[in-house]
Amino acid sequence: MKQLKVCVIGTGSISDMHLQAFVNHPDVVLYGVYDLVKERAEEKALRYNVTNVYKNLEEVLNDPNIEAVSICTWNNTHAELAIGAIKAGKHVLVEKPLSMNLKEALEVQAAAQKYNRIVQVGFVRRFATNTKVLKEFIDHGKLGDIYYAKASCIRRLGNPGGWFADKKRSGGGPLIDLGVHVIDICWYLMGRPKVKSISGNTYSHLGNRANIQNLSFYKAADYDKDQNNVEDMANALITFANGSSLFVDVSYTLHAKEDEIQVKLFGTKGGAELEPELILISEDNDTIMNIHPQIDHLSFDFSNAFQNEIDSFVSSCLTGEKPIAPVEDGVELMKILTGIYEAAEKKSEITFF
Ligand SMILES: NC(=O)c1ccc[n+]([C@@H]2O[C@H](COP(=O)([O-])OP(=O)(O)OC[C@H]3O[C@@H](n4cnc5c(N)ncnc54)[C@H](O)[C@@H]3O)[C@@H](O)[C@H]2O)c1
C-alpha cells in the first residue's frame, strides 16, 4: 500500500490529536511539522518522531515530498494556508472553521476545484461513534423527516483567552468556535438543507469573567485577563428552504447553573438526542418509547472521533473518494455563521436567494 507523506502546520493544543492519529495510521509517514514558534514544532517533532521541522511556510510548500497538510493554526490563517497548499499540489485537512468569512471560504473551494485537490474541514463530531450510529438510524428513516433541531453549547466560565479572544485572529467568540460544531452536526444530520433565512443575537455583557475565583477553566497558552473583544453569548434561529428550522445558543460566559451541551433532533416519525447522550425517541403500540442504544460511547468520544476523522482524510487522499466533510460544507457553515453575525449586527432577519 502506498504511504501518504503528511505535514502538520500549527503545533499548538489540537495538533496533538492530529499528530497522534497520523502516527497511529499504518499508511502515513509523518513527514514534517511547522509552526511560527519553532521550539514548539521541534518539541512535537521529538515527541511524535517526525522527520522534518520546517523553518518557514515556503519550505513546506516547496517540498515536493509532502502530499498532504493538516492545518491547525489560528482561524485567520486557515484560508490563506489552505489555498497556498492546494496551489502547491497538496491535499488539505483544515481545522474548523474553514475561514474567517464566506468570501474566503469560496476562494478555498474555487482553488480546490481548480487544482483538483481533496479539502476536508475539521467537523470532527461527524466522525464520533454516537453520530455514526444515529446517522444510520436517520438514513433508515427512523426519524422520518427532521423538521426541527435544537443545539446548545453553554459555558458559564470558558473564554479561553489568547487568540480565541482576539476577533482579528478568531473571527468571533463562542459562535464561530463552539457554534460551528453544534450547528454543523445538526445541519449534517438534517440532510444538509439549503439555508433560507437567519435571525440572531450576540451579547457582550459579562466579558471573560476573569474576576471569578476558586473555579478553574481552560486557558490558552497566552491568556491575558485584560484582552477580549469577542461576544460572550449568541443565539440564532436558522430556517431552511424545506421548512425545517434549527435553534442554537452558545456561550463562553453566562449566568448559567452549569456548562451544558445539547443536540436534539425532532422528526415526523421519531426524535433523538445526540448530546449529552445518544437516545432515540419513538412511538409504538400507542406508547412513547425512549430507546437507549447499548454502545461503548453514548457521548462524543474525542480521541476515537479524531482517529476516524484522520483515517477518513487519509483514505480520501489515497483513493480520491469524496471526504465526509467536504469543502462545500465548510462554505455552507461559513454562510450560516457569517449570516448570524450579520443578522445580529443589523438587528433583523436576513434572507438568502
Ligand atoms: N476540532 C476541534 O474540536 C478543535 C478543538 C480545538 C481547536 N480547534 C481548532 O484548531 C485550530 C488551532 O487551535 P488550538 O487550540 O490548537 O490553538 P493553539 O493556540 O493552541 O495553537 C495554534 C498554533 O498555531 C500556530 N500558528 C498560528 N498561525 C500560524 C501560521 N500562519 N503558520 C504556522 N503556525 C501558526 C501558533 O503558533 C500555535 O502554536 C483553531 O482553528 C481551532 O478552531 C479545533
Report residues whose beta carbon is within 6 angstroms of any ligand 1 atom.
Answer: 9-15, 34-37, 40, 72-75, 77, 95-96, 122, 124, 163, 177, 220
Distance 286 CA to ligand 1 centre (A): 51
Instruction: Decide: 324 and 312 in contact? Cβ < 8 Å.
Output: yes
Say whether pLDDT at 218 is over 90. Answer: no
Work out the percent of the chain whose per-residue pLDDT is above 90. 97
Q: Where are the beta strands (DSSP E) in 72-177?
A: 91-95, 119-122, 146-154
- How many residues are listed for the chain in this entry? 353
Say whether pLDDT at 2 is over 90. Answer: no
Whether the link from the prior residue into 97 is cis, omega within 30° of 0, is: yes
What structural domains and CATH numbers belong to the chain? 4-125+306-326 (3.40.50.720), 128-300+333-351 (3.30.360.10)
Pocket test for ligand 1, best of 17, 36, 306 (most atoms within 8 A of CB): 36
Whether the link from the prior residue into 326 is cis, omega within 30° of 0, is: no
Say whether pLDDT at 87 is over 80. Answer: yes
Residue 18 CB-density burial (10 A; 0-12 exposed, 13-18 middle, 19+ buried): buried
Q: What is the pLDDT of residue 91?
A: 98
What is the rounded average pLDDT for all residues in the chain? 97
pTM: 0.97
Residue 204 CB-density burial (10 A; 0-12 exposed, 13-18 middle, 19+ buried): middle
pLDDT digits (tens, 9 = 90+) for 138-189: 999 999 999 999 999 999 999 999 999 999 999 999 999 999 999 999 999 9
pLDDT digits (tens, 9 = 90+) for 310-326: 999 999 999 999 999 99
**DSSP three-state, residue 319:** helix
Residue nearest ligand 1's atom 7 by CA: 14
Residues sharing a CB contact under 8 Å with residue 165, sequence separation 6 or more, in sequence order:
159, 173, 208, 220, 227, 228, 229, 230
Say whether pLDDT at 353 is over 80. Answer: no
pLDDT digits (tens, 9 = 90+) for 245-296: 999 999 999 999 999 999 999 999 999 999 999 999 999 999 999 999 999 9
